[in-house]
Amino acid sequence: MDNQYPELENKNAIIRMFHVTKRYGAQLALNDVSLDVDANEFLFLTGPSGAGKSTLLKLLYLADTISEGQILLKGMNLSRLPKKRLPFLRRNIGVVFQDYKLIPTRTVFDNIALVMEVAGANAKQIKRKVGYLLRTVEMEHKAGAFPQSLSGGEQQRVAVARAICGDPDIVLADEPTGSLDAESARVIMELLFGIHARGATVMVATHDEALLHSTRRRIVTLKQGSVVDLGL
Amino acid sequence: MQPMYYFKQALDDIRGAKVLHGLAISTITLIFLLTGVFALVFINVSQLMTAQQDNVRMMVYLKSGLTAPELGPIQQAIEKTNRVKSAEFVSKDQALERLRQSMNNQAGLLDDLSDNPLPDAFEVVASPGEGGWQGVKMTAATIQKISGVDEVNFGQAWLEKFSMVAELSRAAAIAIGFLLMVAALSITANTIRLVLYNRRDEIKIMELVGATNGFIRASFYIQGMIQGLLGGLAALGLLALVFFIIVAGAPAQELLGRFEFQFIPIKYCILGLLLSVGVGAAGCHLSFAQFTKD
């Protein structure tokens, strides 16, 4: 007998969106979006400004709630997730923001360490892991610096280090190279490819055409809140 | 749980907003200082009352014309009365001599008296114990019924008024203390609220990286408690300084003679400090409730 709901069958998917709609008042930010992202997939999300890329990512990193539809993250239905469980699910998601969102009153080291502190790691574990990440993003010499003394590229490298500090299964990057020069952008993308190579699912929102075509990855295109190309 | 992390974070926050926290701590100090002054007044008034009640002196005036053999049974009857510690006979001549001494320069006025108008009396010392003023009254009433006794006087009007004033001061101290605590609570809440609004972006980031509510709140609670504790300690220190230099010094002692002023007992000092810490934590709780609502 044929499965009545073939769309429900995808055992590899780590992110599943079913007919997701998001409204801000009368404004429709996302309209009936359905999308599956497989575990360990590297995917670009593109579209013009206002297409809904950032809104979609916001829903996935639980900064906002959907108006209609369902989202499954690692098999968990976000609409039914108890509020208490939210922080623990968020620890599985690393986020790289376009505006970095580093805490200005904390040093580079402390900004990265925050993720582990939140998860209850001890000082020794934190020192070892953050030290390793600082070397990976080539920011070891700036460990004691505050974010405002760093360039945009340096801040974004710190943001990437923070995003992967907790060894998340999913990394979401919202225009991670948007305000960077070509060299800084290349470094950031290499870091994201590296994270993917180590097993994480990576979703990058960008409208940078050069970046999209520099690599053969799946590209999902949004336009006016709707998916116009799933890139399959 | 990472107590050291929370503590460090709280201290960093206090260092980052020194003026704000300094103002809050100063205000809490002032409030607890005022509360301490009330507590000090109340404790010493109570102490004074207790000292008065411990040994109540009564004058038992006798009817005129009693003979010496009649005095013995009266004294025995008085001494057998409940709560009486001692009864000492004061003859009318001794009473006149005492009066003369107490009148100092004006003692000459007594020389014109043709007859001694004062009665014989017993000076009775009673200890009311658990019964308080009611016990004293009952003792006086019993003595009054003894044959040969004319009048019993123990300054009840003054002592009852004094007792009432002490009760009122206790109620006032509790009410004012309560109002001052509410003020301290509100100040702590407002300070933490300002810090919270100042750090709302940081709090948002912490939430996004998976911080639980408890993790976010802990350092703020510690800040509130540190504020309260520092305010409480400063108030206690200032109160002790003022008390030991001025109040317990010579001028006040001259005023009240043998009565010794007491500082707030150590257990109440500790209770006050715990209260100041509690006020800090409760203030933080209130500000979080408001912050979450906003």
pLDDT per position as a tens digit, B208-233: 999 998 888 898 899 889 989 999 99
B45 lies in the same domain as B74 = no
| Structural domain for B105, as ranges | 55-127
Q: Which of B133-137, B175-179, B204-208 has the lowest mean pLDDT?
A: B133-137
B283 and B173 belong to one structural domain: yes
Smallest CA–CA distance, residue A120 to chain B, in Å, is 7
B127, B143, B176 — which closes off a domain? B127
Q: Residues 36 to 75 of A: which have CB under 8 A from any B CB?
A: 61-63
What is the distance between the alpha carbons of residues A131 and A139, in angstroms, rounded to a whole number?
9
Interface residue A210 vs chain B (CB under 8 A): no
CB B59 within 8 A of CB B153: yes
Contact A140, A170 (CB under 8 A): no
Local structure of residue B118 (DSSP, 8 states): P
Question: How many other CB atoms are found less than 10 A from the CB of residue A113?
Answer: 23
Provide the pLDDT for residue B130: 62
- Contact at CB, B207 and A87, closer than 8 angstroms: yes
Task: Give A80: exposed, middle or buried? Use CB within 10 Å, 0-12, 13-18, 19+.
Answer: exposed
Is B236 a member of any domain? yes
Q: Which residue of B has its CA nearest to A163?
A: B209
Reduced 3-state DSSP string for B171-233: HHHHHHHHHHHHHHHHHHHHHHHHHHHHCHHHHHHHHHCCCCHHHHHHHHHHHHHHHHHHHHH
Q: What CA–CA distance (Å, rounded) separates B217 from B286? A: 12
**What CA–CA distance (Å, rounded) separates A166 from A97?**
16
- The number of folded domains in chain B is 2
Whether B252 shows a pLDDT value over 60: the answer reads: no
- Boundary (domain end) residue, out of B83, B101, B127: B127
Asked if the structure places residue B75 within a domain, the reply is yes
Q: Do B209 and A61 touch (CB under 8 A)?
A: no
Confidence at residue B15, expressed as pLDDT on a 0 to 100 scale: 82
Residues 6+ apart with CB under 8 A from A182: none
Is residue B145 one of the residues assigned to a domain? no
State which of B73, B101, B127 marks the end of a domain: B127
Q: Which of A66-80, A140-154, B130-144, B145-159 has the lowest mean pLDDT?
A: B130-144
- Residue B210 and residue B104 share a domain: no
Amino acid A92: pLDDT = 92
Is B134 a member of any domain? no
- Does B29 share its domain with B72? no
CATH number at residue B117: 3.30.70.3040
User: B187 with B68, same domain?
Assistant: no
The verdict on B170 and B224 lying in the same domain is yes
Could you say which of B5, B12, B16 has the minimum Cβ distance to residue A117? B5
Q: Which pLDDT score, from 0 to 100, does residue A116 have?
A: 93
B33/B107 same-domain check? no
Is B114 domain-assigned?
A: yes
**Any domain includes B270:** yes
Q: Is A125 on the interface with B (CB under 8 A)?
A: no
pLDDT reported for residue B249: 64
* Mean per-residue pLDDT, B139-161: 84
pTM across the whole model: 0.69
- Does residue A115 belong to the interface with chain B, where contact is any CB pair within 8 Å? yes
**% pLDDT > 90, chain B:** 13
Do B257 and B287 have their domain in common? yes
pLDDT higher than 60, residue B147: yes
Residue B136 falls within a domain, yes or no? no
Do B215 and A61 make contact, defined as CB atoms within 8 angstroms?
Answer: no
Q: Residue A1 has what pLDDT?
A: 46
Q: What is the reported pLDDT for B37?
A: 86
Give the pLDDT confidence score for residue B232 in this predicted structure. 93
Predicted confidence at residue B52, as pLDDT, reads: 66
| Rounded distance between C-alpha atoms, residue A14 and residue B286, angstroms | 40
Whether residues B72 and B94 fall in one domain: yes
Question: Which residue positions in chain A have pLDDT lower than 70?
Answer: 1-9
Query: Looking at the structure, do residues B40 and B92 belong to the same domain, yes or no?
Result: no
Same domain, B42 and B170: yes
Residue in B closest to A115 by C-alpha: B209
In chain A, the domains with their CATH numbers are: 40-64+87-229 (3.40.50.300)
The pLDDT assigned to A208 comes to: 86
Contact call for B209 and A103, based on CB within 8 A: no
Instruction: Give the H or E element holding residue B168.
Output: helix B156-198
% of chain B with per-residue pLDDT over 70: 91
Specify whether B35 is located in the same domain as B61: no
Q: What is the mean pLDDT of chain B?
A: 83
Least Cα separation, residue A110 to chain B (angstroms): 11
The answer to whether residue B152 sits within a structural domain is no
Interface of B with A in 162-221 (CB under 8 A): 201-202, 205-213, 215
- Spacing of C-alpha A71 from chain mean position: 15
